[in-house]
Amino acid sequence: MKIRRAAIADIKDIQKLVNEFARREEMIPRSINELYENVRDFFVAEEDGRICGACALHVLWEDLAEIRSLAVHEDTRGKGIGSRLVKYCMTDAKKLGIGRVFALTYRPGFFRRLGFTDIDKSSLPQKIWGDCIRCPKFPECDEHALILNLK
């Protein structure tokens, strides 16, 4: 299994994977257009020519980025794919000079194990008025917000 930057050819597989979780209300659905526009944000995990995981690092501000759309196929869970994808995103954030990375998640324990700490969602105004306003759960969000300082 290898982790690499996503390519245009990966977008339809990424969308299927992400929107599978969105149908279960575990993340925001992503349109094909949105994924093409943000292909440079994504890393994928590939095993035997199959995309088995995806994760994006989306820059929101000069010192703030979000880990988002982290999705791993059910049949490949437990192999550390999610952790590896997030670590690739954090390495990318450091290279860009990003000081803080956050995630909104229903699985806060996963991010805590990677060094993230809990924060109040209201401290992330760039996120709240970006993607969150499109979410059917807004403003009654039940996700956990966590952040990691990279500096």
CA 73 to chain centre: 14
Domain ranges of the chain: 2-149
| Per-residue model confidence as pLDDT tens for the chain (151 residues) | 999 999 999 999 999 999 999 999 888 889 999 999 999 999 999 999 999 999 999 998 889 999 999 999 999 988 999 999 999 999 999 999 999 999 999 999 999 999 999 998 878 865 555 565 565 655 566 789 999 999 8
Output the pTM of the full model: 0.89
DSSP-derived secondary structure for the chain: -EEEE--GGGHHHHHHHHHHHHHTTSS----HHHHHHTGGGEEEEEETTEEEEEEEEEEEETTEEEEEEEEE-GGGTTSSHHHHHHHHHHHHHHHHT--EEEEEES-HHHHHHTT-EEE-GGG-HHHHTTTGGGSTTTTS--PEEEEEE--
Q: Is CATH 1.10.10.60 what the domain over 2-149 is classified as, yes or no?
A: no
